Chain A
Amino acid sequence: KAGVTQTPRYLIKTRGQQVTLSCSPISGHRSVSWYQQTPGQGLQFLFEYFSETQRNKGNFPGRFSGRQFSNSRSEMNVSTLELGDSALYLCASSLRPVDSPLHFGNGTRLTVT
């Protein structure tokens, strides 16, 4: 079974631009979560989607948004990029929204210059 697929793997953007990251979950997994990973803060929860609905949201500004499609694929968008948004963005899928382990993709490395 294929794992979680994230595209693109690397992105370089300029301050003020916006970016869209894509995630395809493991087949049959209906819950998708997004995390930001930085050296200083570790993994921080962004949001979680199940059945195209956002169920939970972390403590990030409104510039960070996401959505989930009917096939469970998900995208996250960051508008008006700041230097501090440089990070590894990880998508994780799980079978159910609760009581189910997270399976991560290899992430999208975003660099903002």
Chain B
Amino acid sequence: QKEVEQDPGPLSVPEGAIVSLNCTYSNSAFQYFMWYRQYSRKGPELLMYTYSSGNKEDGRFTAQVDKSSKYISLFIRDSQPSDSATYLCAGSEAGNQFYFGTGTSLTVIP
């Protein structure tokens, strides 16, 4: 079993929709979580960095961590065509070696 599991999609939504991206993890010791956006032929771009449980909001993005169910989510409000990319989640126990999901491909249709 991989440390972090992520539905690969693809996910296709109309412009302006709320997008929900989800991951599950197996290691209950994970405390640090990250979400990245990766465009084709580019490196991952950090969107959110969270510690422990709860919600964190940054502009149109909200990250949610539920440690009781080992579930992490990223919500994108008012999605734009420029949000079309692959989204990666990651978790870590000590905040150094991170385990990544394989990514969810998102397309936002104008």
Contact = CB atoms under 8 A, between A and B. Distances in A.
Interface stretch (A61-69, A75-83, A94-102): A94-102
Contacts of A42: 88, 100-103
Interface string B6-17: 000000000000
A98 B94 contact: yes
A97 B17 CA distance: 37
A41 interface: yes
A102 B48 CA distance: 11
Interface of B: 32, 34, 36, 41-46, 49, 51, 88, 90, 94-103
Interface of A: 4, 6, 31, 33, 35, 41-45, 48, 55-56, 58, 90, 97-107
A34 B29 CA distance: 23
Contact of B100 (A43, A55, A106): A43
A98 B42 contact: no
A56 B97 contact: yes
Given A58-B97, A97-B96, A107 B43 contact: yes
B97 A102 contact: no
B95 A98 contact: yes
A91 B101 CA distance: 17
Contact of B97 (A48, A100, A104, A105): A48
Contacts of A45: 97-99
Contact of A43 (B41, B49, B51, B88): B88
Contacts of A55: 96
Nearest to A58: B97
22 contacts: A4-B43, A6-B43, A33-B97, A35-B100, A43-B44, A44-B100, A48-B96, A55-B96, A56-B96, A56-B97, A58-B97, A97-B96, A98-B96, A99-B51, A99-B95, A102-B34, A102-B98, A103-B46, A104-B36, A104-B44, A104-B45, A107-B43
Contacts of B101: 42
